[in-house]
Every structure is written in structure tokens, then in C-alpha cells.
Amino acid sequence: MKTPDIRKIDFEIPIYWTSEQALAVFELIDDLREKILGYYRLQIHEQMAVDREPDDMQSNITEKDIPF
């Protein structure tokens, strides 16, 4: 038996939803996203910038490391 990863939530989207149910869930998630952004916009943008920074190994490359 595989040990569950407690750091994530395993969630499957039912394939039997009606289009109205799918739209309701979509709108709920969209509203939740807007509420979170309304409160955490700056922190989210800052974290996204940090996440997009190159790894330490990539940032330590100098011109002498490039073979051409």
C-alpha cells in the first residue's frame, strides 16, 4: 500500500457533472481566486517573481564558463 503524500490533496473532477454544475464550480473557483488576489496580490506577485528566478547553478555561470 502506497503512503499518501500529506503535502497535497488528491482531487478528481467527476465526469458526470452537468454543464450547470461545472459552471457553478468554475465560477466559485474564479470568485475565490479574485478574493485571494484582492488580499494577497502583492505577495503573490513577489512570490511568482522569486519562483521564476534562475537556479543558483544557472545564475553562477560566467562568460569563461561558456565554451564559445
Full-model pTM = 0.56
pLDDT of 7:
78
Q: Using the structure block, give the residue that is written with the C-alpha cell 464550480.
A: 25
10, 4 contact by CB (below 8 A): yes
Tell me how far apart the alpha carbons of residues 41 and 43 are, in angstroms, rounded to a whole number: 6
pLDDT of 11:
81
Per-residue pLDDT tens digits for 9-67: 778 899 999 999 999 999 999 999 999 999 999 999 999 999 998 876 555 666 666 66
Q: What does each C-alpha distance from 5 to 2, 10, 14, 33 come to in angstroms?
A: 9, 9, 22, 25
62, 54 contact by CB (below 8 A): no
Q: Where are the domains of the chain?
A: 20-52
Band of the pLDDT at 8, cuts 50, 70, 90?
A: confident
User: Does residue 4 register a pLDDT over 90?
Assistant: no
Length of the chain: 68
